[in-house]
Structure 1
Amino acid sequence: MELSRGQQRLLFVVVVLALGGLGIFLLGSRHRTATPPPARPSATAAPATSTPASAPATTIGGGGGVNIYQWLPFTQQDLTAASRATVAFAADYENWSYTEPAQAYVAKMNGLVTTNFAASLQNSYATPGVAALRSAQKQISTSSGGIASIRSFGTGSITFVVNIAQRLATTSGTSNSTKQYAVTVVSNATGWQVNDVELAGAGNQ
């Protein structure tokens, strides 16, 4: 079935709203001892503030409507699983301590990230200059994250725009910040896993 331009726009809005319904359940599934400030959703997306265990089936039009997932390369269950993996990753990505070695930092994300991406994260965490600064300032970071929108998707891949709030304690004091990332999850034999993360403003949007 070919959609009109208006139906295509409506479809995208409905997908974002359905995704917005995943927030509380996913955010509530992983608690941290220190809670960063609430993340700000992007101006063009529904915030992840209320979430059922699974995304509701969404229809368009009257007379019984049409299941939107017939036009998407993933199922309702896929979207729920991909969203859950993304929010869990967001809680671990900026959650670390200066006393924590690279292997331990990455081990927390076992099952959430692909093997190749895990190696990349470990190398980045162990970068000499970054590691030296982390140790010198006795940095301790905690984080939480929420999905703001879907940036793009394809067969077996979804890229979410995610707000990650970080609380960073150092010998100089404590600071809070929120950054927006593009987090790509892919489907494989073990489920949905994060395969890439970058600042949302980097590259093409």
Structure 2
Amino acid sequence: MNLSDRQSKLLFGGLVVGLTAVGVYLTVAAPDDEPERSKPRSVVTTGPTAPVAPPPGIATPVSPDSFDVYRLLPFSQQEFATAADLAQRFTAAYGTFRFDEEPRAYADRLAGMVTEQLGGELQRSAAAPGLQEERRAQQIVATGTATLDRVRDIENNSIIFLVTGKQQVTKAGKRSDDSKQYAVTVARDGGSLKVYAFEPADAGQEGDTG
């Protein structure tokens, strides 16, 4: 069949419109026609997570709830508590004295808490003539208290505590407060614990940049 020019143009235009419509349909419908298996699926797990096994060579992991630090220290929990209490009681007693108290009586109050060597040093210091004269002249009375701050060091037979000693001092009828931090070393002495050394916490630290 022979088509005129006008009929050929109309036929060609119709084909173009039809192909365009088919292309639009395929473009819009393609995502919905994808197989369901091609879409990613989320994975939902239920039940408790299995515990992570410790690395090889470790029988039991360390638990914060049941970890006993004292089994790693050279002092038991009871010894540690006794040493801490001793350091605190000694510091309070060291800062308590009266102008009318004999140096020997002062030293005797400390004797049960300190080593024999330290006890002798404390007695000689308290009996110094100049110190006694000043206390009597100004009628000095001091009452000491103490609080534990922290542990500075632990060795096989000793613990060094930092302890703050506070004093209420009456001098010549006037009252004042004083406070100072001390390093108190508690060590095993025979079958008991005693204060082995006692000094200001900052002693020997001048110029230390470490």
TM-score using structure 1 length: 0.67
SS in 1 for 2:78: helix
% identical aligned pairs: 31
Which one has the largest radius of gyration?
A: 2
Alpha-carbon deviation of 1:81?
A: 0.9
Matches within 5 A, 1:88-99: 88-99=89-100
**Which residue is equivalent to 1:166?**
167
Alpha-carbon deviation of 1:163?
A: 0.4
**Which residue is equivalent to 2:141?**
140
Alpha-carbon deviation of 1:190?
A: 4.3
Extract unaligned runs of 5+ from structure 2: 1-60
Partners of 1:198 and 1:188 in 2: CA distance: 19
Partners of 1:173 and 1:64 in 2: CA distance: 52
**Which residue is equivalent to 1:15?**
none
Alpha-carbon deviation of 1:176?
A: 0.4
SS in 2 for 1:66: coil
SS in 1 for 2:142: strand
Partners of 1:63 and 1:87 in 2: CA distance: 29
Letter in 2 for 1:168: V
Partners of 1:63 and 1:100 in 2: CA distance: 51
SS in 2 for 1:132: helix
String of CA shifts for 1:86-139, please: whole Å, max 9, x gaps: 111122101000011111001112321111101000011111211111111110
Question: For the aligned residues, what is the CA RMSD?
Answer: 1.8
Partners of 1:103 and 1:155 in 2: CA distance: 33
| Worse overlay, 72-81 or 158-167 | 72-81
String of CA shifts for 1:153-202, please: whole Å, max 9, x gaps: 10110110000000111115011011000011111224111111111011
Q: What is the aligned length?
A: 146
Alpha-carbon deviation of 1:65?
A: 3.5
String of CA shifts for 1:21-71, please: whole Å, max 9, x gaps: xxxxxxxxxxxxxxxxxxxxxxxxxxxxxxxxxxxxxxx942764321222
TM-score using structure 2 length: 0.65
**Which residue is equivalent to 1:130?**
131
- Kindly indicate whether the alpha-carbon contact (under 8 Å) linking 2:151 and 2:161 is maintained by their aligned counterparts in 1: yes
Partners of 2:108 and 2:65 in 1: CA distance: 47
Q: Any runs of at least 4 consecutive aligned residues in structure 1 with deviations exceeding 3 A, and if so which? A: none
Extract unaligned runs of 5+ from structure 1: 1-59
Matches within 5 A, 1:62-141: 62=63, 65-141=66-142
